[in-house]
Chain A
Amino acid sequence: MVNRIHKNVRLSLENKLYICFGLFLLFGWYKNGLLPFLNHYYGFSHLFLLVLYPLSGFGIGALLDFLFKNNMPYNSKFYGVLFSLIIPISTNIFWYLLFITALLFLNTLWISKKDLDLHFIVLGKLLLVFFLVWMGQYSYANLLEQSHLFLYSYLDGLFGYSVGGLFTSSTFLIFLTFLFLVFDPYYKKEIPFYSYGVYFLSLLGFSIYKGDMNFLLSHMFSSDILFLLIFLAPHLPFSPYSRKRITIYSLLLGIFILPFSLLTNFYEGAYLSLILVNLLLILLNSLQIKQIKKKIALKEQEN
């Protein structure tokens, strides 16, 4: 029961994120469903299949929320939708369902109960990618894109006509939603600002070193990296909350993206960087808690 004064927030951050996801879903459905369908690359059923990814994620999440009734910062429904946005286009619905169910169970029964800050969505995406690579089904391009591969211009890429996650290919929409989120008092806007700044500088330096400014142009607005920096890295439960740690976390994330992307590719390099800084954060948190508990024990002994 709460009836003190609270800050007036007309629309919670969670609801704002749902609105953003809705826009991504609409554009993703158009780009990866309707457009290839109109060009006769997919059958009519593909239009429904695409919708099935977020819907089934939402449904499984809702079922778990109902069954376990855990008091979690963000419910499983939310993560069910979020995961469906970032998966590679080639992900089979069956594998997707298997992964999302396992991930949501993991979060409900272990991560949230132990209050770990493990970014299980990022971890899940990386595991799914490893699995798809192993199965020989790894691809971010739909059939239409596979037929015209690399014909997109930079401007096309900005407006979403680029190879990317199932529903996250529109850089323009990502910028638009960032503008919507940046004014929310609870959104950790410093993380995308700092980390993108560092990433951009490293990209610029590398392009100058290579003498290839096309490299900068083709990677500075990568929708997958921007989506990760704007939606996944600042996600409240898995990101740091003190000013000092936010700065360290963002800078490290920005520093790691380019080398990891060069080592792997520009779709997964950022995810690897994020999981690495996320694990560092968990380590720092546990060390801090141990230190505090030690101090308290010492104080109690003195008393």
Chain B
Amino acid sequence: MTKLVRLDKDKLMNQNLEKKEFNTPDFVYIPFPPKKEDLKKEAHIKKESLLYPGVYAPISGKLSGIDQCLLFPGKRVNCFVIQNDYEEKSESTKPIRKKITGLEKREFLDCIFDLDLKNRLEKNLSSTLLISGIDDEPYIENEAFLQRENTKAIMDGIDAILSLQQNSKAIIALKNTDSKTILAYQNILGMYKNIEIKFVDDLYLIGKEPFLKKYLKLTEAFYLKTSEVYEIYVNLKKRKPLLEKYITISGNGVSKPLIIKTKLGVKVSSLFNKYYLEDLMDCAFYVNGLMGGVQLNLNQLLVSKDLEGIIVMKRVKKVSKACVKCGKCISICPIHSNPMLAYKLGIKVECIHCGLCTYICPSYIPLQKYLSGDDGE
């Protein structure tokens, strides 16, 4: 595996990051499942009620129609529209669990609402738990914020997972530059004897599973992100699905960077309408970051589990030049692909969409676009 690199970031970009909560959207949009099953129009839906396997209603309200929306990384989907009645009537009547440790494995898994997460816990759980509290994308700080706000909940969530197996331990990986998060953990770390913190260098991609495992030499460990641990905690403690998400909005195109806690299924445009009054016509919107993200039109984009943030950048007049054949895109590629083959011959090559080839290119060629096998525009 290639040596990971430290990115040249604008340190002022996320200064004064503010937190906001947007819990009362007028509408939320629920994508159809693969096999369409019609819900009755005008039907009343309770908050957290099961709509389809693995899909729950983030708000209460009535079904008011169908709309076409966009999901990251650009998939068009038909959605049911739920109009908010602002009553927040919940389906769940179960009381909050007092203790979430010491559950039987079956009971534990039955509490997990997300099907993918449940599957992973069922199949791959090992005696060492590796928790990544790292935001890889520059200017996106969802994991860090989540940890600072919910440190105790995350520690309890880890403790609950550890209680499934005897003699197991957990390692939380944090960037050694993330002092605020480190401080938040240090205050309560003494209460959890099987959990330790390991600091890693501020390198791009270090938070991703294969790279983190390799860096910490923990190839057999079971990997989770802190957001997944928090979801497990909410599932176990509150006996309900996690239907909220942190979204970072930053970039040189917006007046103030924000971390917004909002419901799944909310249109991203409604967040912008609420918090940003400035004219963003002359800006480019990078969904999920400037490195691995994609440039999308935000009009129909929905907040989904895969959406991490929007980086708004002022458009600049910088034209890509011809390839100088420096070969840096090849030497920096963490999976040893050859982006030049994709660029010069239009050949589809293996790609994890990390964006490092575009980052390093001295000719400003958007190599990421060519790697997917298209012509670049």
Task: State the CA gap A9–B364 with chains docked (Å).
Answer: 12
Q: Are A117 and B325 in contact, with the CB atoms below 8 A?
A: yes
Q: Are A74 and B359 in contact, with the CB atoms below 8 A?
A: no
A5 at the interface (CB under 8 A from B): yes
Q: Which of B7, B318, B347 contacts A296 (CB 8 A)?
A: B347
Q: Are A6 and B364 in contact, with the CB atoms below 8 A?
A: yes
Residues 297-332 of chain B: 1 if any A CB is under 8 Å from the residue's CB, otherwise 0?
Answer: 000000000000000011111111111111110110
A250 at the interface (CB under 8 A from B): no
Chain A residues in 8 Å Cβ range of B325: 73, 117, 236-237, 239, 241
Chain A residues in 8 Å Cβ range of B320: 2
Q: Are B322 and A72 in contact, with the CB atoms below 8 A?
A: yes
Chain A's closest residue to B358 (CB) is A4
Asked if A73 meets B8 with Cβ closer than 8 Å, knowing A2-B316, A3-B316, A242-B327, the reply is: no
Chain A residues in 8 Å Cβ range of B347: 292, 296
CB within 8 Å of B: which A105-134 residues: 112, 115, 117
Chain A's closest residue to B361 (CB) is A6
Chain A residues in 8 Å Cβ range of B183: none
Q: Which of A7, A185, A186, A292 has the most CB of B within 10 A?
A: A7
Q: Are A3 and B318 in contact, with the CB atoms below 8 A?
A: yes
A8 at the interface (CB under 8 A from B): yes
Chain B's closest residue to A8 (CB) is B8
A67 at the interface (CB under 8 A from B): no
Chain B residues in 8 Å Cβ range of A262: none
A12 at the interface (CB under 8 A from B): yes
Task: State the CA gap A220–B331 with chains docked (Å).
Answer: 32
A38 at the interface (CB under 8 A from B): no
* Interface residue count on the B side (C-beta < 8 Å): 40
Q: Which of A6, A9, A188, A242 has the most CB of B within 10 A?
A: A6
A279 at the interface (CB under 8 A from B): no
Q: Are B331 and A3 in contact, with the CB atoms below 8 A?
A: no
* Contact residues of B: prevailing secondary structure: loop
Task: State the CA gap A279–B364 with chains docked (Å).
Answer: 28
Range of interface residues on A (Cβ < 8 Å): 20 to 34
B345 at the interface (CB under 8 A from A): yes
Q: Which of B314, B344, B363 contacts A73 (CB 8 A)?
A: B363
Q: Are A73 and B340 in contact, with the CB atoms below 8 A?
A: no
Q: Are B327 and A241 in contact, with the CB atoms below 8 A?
A: yes
Q: Are A236 and B321 in contact, with the CB atoms below 8 A?
A: no
B70 at the interface (CB under 8 A from A): no
Q: Are B327 and A6 in contact, with the CB atoms below 8 A?
A: no
Q: Are A1 and B315 in contact, with the CB atoms below 8 A?
A: yes
Chain B residues in 8 Å Cβ range of A185: 328
B77 at the interface (CB under 8 A from A): no
Q: Which of B9, B318, B322, B330 contacts A71 (CB 8 A)?
A: B322
A289 at the interface (CB under 8 A from B): yes
A243 at the interface (CB under 8 A from B): yes
A216 at the interface (CB under 8 A from B): no
A23 at the interface (CB under 8 A from B): no
Q: Are B364 and A236 in contact, with the CB atoms below 8 A?
A: no
Q: How far in angstroms is the closest Cβ of chain B from A108?
A: 12
B59 at the interface (CB under 8 A from A): no
Q: Are A236 and B138 in contact, with the CB atoms below 8 A?
A: no
* 5 tightest Cβ-Cβ pairs between the two chains A and B: A241-B327, A8-B8, A73-B324, A3-B313, A2-B364
What are 25 of the A-B contact pairs (CB < 8 Å)?
A: A1-B284, A1-B316, A1-B318, A2-B319, A2-B320, A4-B291, A4-B366, A5-B8, A6-B8, A6-B359, A6-B364, A12-B362, A13-B362, A73-B322, A73-B325, A73-B363, A185-B328, A186-B362, A188-B326, A237-B324, A241-B326, A243-B331, A289-B345, A292-B341, A292-B347
